[in-house]
Structure 1
Amino acid sequence: MADGTWDLIVTPWHVDEPIPAFPIPLGATEVVRPVLPAGPVPARMNVLHQAALDAVTRAARPLVLSGDCATARATVAGLQRRHRDVAVLWLDAHGDFNTPAISTSGYLAGMALAMLTGRTPGLFDDSLGLRPVPDTSVVLADARDLDPAERDALTASDVHRVPADPAAITAALGRLGPVPVYLHLDVDVIDGAQLSGARFPSGPGPSLARIEDCLAAACATADVRAAGIACAWLPEHVHDRTTRRTITRLTAALGAGLEILGFRHNADTARTSEGS
């Protein structure tokens, strides 16, 4: 297992749109949104992901706070520059396994895990140098909200699917062996009753405390070399006090202490409101 030191990076955008109110923790590296070309959204996203990749490459152990899941392309590409083989732990209410061929909405951030596993050829150019992660090296936790075609694609794949449960995640990671892991969390995996203002709420699910336990278990079990938290709140909610509290709790579960505009995680009182 890696030590508890993280290099915090913030990419304050969703797909190709800026999020001006995105919280920037003290000491974090904020990736400045580059000037984007006119043209297709994937090409604009690729420019953003290149900027994120540059920041990730400079970090010893990157923890990326982003506004969507697709930015994971940059983090995994950066991790692959240091390690030949990489595994992925993906905690999300959604599968993010749609592709342009099966998506009913065309929502690109809903294809993020499909991107990592090489299922979206031609959507982006290869400037990031991202190599497809084998299905057998991917653990998908929860994914309770799937489109029908997406469900079929996951069933036909070799992706390991587990509940958002610390023991199940520990066992799945243990079967992968000693390989560097990218840990990805979309905050909407948390029970909708505890996550007001989510872009794509998914109803009942694991509590915030359960997700904290999952993150801690993953870090205790696997060699987590990079991580990403998709802060998938609506723009008008992304800087709420409850949002900032949730972010600090999740990062603390990964072993990263941070402060956002004076709000600091308090491990002694964080769970009192939900009875843990």
Structure 2
Amino acid sequence: MADSTADPWDLLVAPWHLDEHIPDFPVPAAATVVARPALPDGPVPARMSVLHRAATDAVARKTRPLVLSGDCSTARAVLAAQQQHHPDLAVLWFDAHGDFNTPAISTSGYLAGMALATLTGRTPDLFDDTLGLRPVPDTSIVLADARDLDPAEHDALTTSEVHRIPAEPAAVTSALERLGPVPVYLHLDIDVIDGAQVPGARFPAGPGPSLAQIEECLAAARATARLAAACLACAWLPEHAADATSRQAITRLTAALGASLTWP
């Protein structure tokens, strides 16, 4: 079922990167900000799990959530909440990176670089299991772009059954039609966009699809799939998160998904 008949988006904001609060994270008018709980002392994954629990609870109260977050790891929370309503949820993931590292193969240990692998169940000991997240089968995942991969991450994706495509509208349409009439969680990291068009990104990946091309990909997804939930990882450095160019990119990307943002 195409997205044009779906419910309106419920806008939420999760203003953190890993376990760090982003004070100047842009908050559109009418958005619900996920209340930040008190975090325990201890390892970062344990602190992130507390944040993810709060995000899961907030997302679960929304009919059709569109989440703005400071990292990709928050996808874990969004997906866990949505699986309560859509056990067959598929994933369409736009990212310049694969996010398919695990603690065993990561060269940096960067936790958000494991976000997609976590959704597939490849990082079972990284976080606690309080969210009730069920692994998504590789065959239900479409990864768009992923032009910047670590060598071991490349090998892991090659031996997986994750369906990789270029970030092109026709490829998005074809991949979603291949998945069939299942609800889809759409995830987009802003670094999938050509680095020259997203100044201040935490992990710029150089030349890539233009912002206009990614808008076309999102429009194709909206026209083809039943988008049950979405997350836009606004992975700018904290001092750039609320720049005019950053807000403009967020506004354009969410508009391509059918959401109309205004800013206070």
Regarding TM over 0.5, the answer is yes
Percent identity (aligned):
74
What root-mean-square deviation, in Å, do the aligned CA atoms of Structure 1 and Structure 2 show?
A: 0.7
Matched, 1:251 2:228: no
Runs of 4+ off more than 2 Å: none
Q: Residue type of the partner of 1:148?
A: P
Question: How is 1:1-276 mapped onto 2 (pairs within 5 angstroms)?
Answer: 1-2=2-3, 3=6, 5-261=8-264
Secondary structure in structure 2 of the residue aligned to 1:214: helix
Partners of 2:89 and 2:67 in 1: CA distance: 17
Q: Residue type of the partner of 1:237?
A: H
Structure 1 spans left out of the alignment, 5+ residues: 262-276
Q: Residue type of the partner of 1:157?
A: S
TM-score (norm 2): 0.98
Structure 2 spans left out of the alignment, 5+ residues: none
- Say whether the 8 Å CA contact 1:186–1:230 is kept in structure 2: yes
Report the CA distance between 1:152 and its aligned residue: 0.3
Partners of 1:260 and 1:206 in 2: CA distance: 26
Q: Residue type of the partner of 1:40?
A: P
Q: How many residues align structurally?
A: 261
- Say whether the 8 Å CA contact 2:7–2:64 is kept in structure 1: no
Partners of 1:171 and 1:18 in 2: CA distance: 38
Secondary structure in structure 1 of the residue aligned to 2:240: coil
Secondary structure in structure 1 of the residue aligned to 2:239: coil
Partners of 2:263 and 2:109 in 1: CA distance: 34
Deviations 1:207-236 (A, max 9, x none): 000000000100110111000000000000
- Say whether the 8 Å CA contact 1:69–1:186 is kept in structure 2: yes
Report the CA distance between 1:173 and its aligned residue: 0.7
Partners of 1:178 and 1:233 in 2: CA distance: 34
Q: Residue type of the partner of 1:42?
A: P
Secondary structure in structure 2 of the residue aligned to 1:46: helix
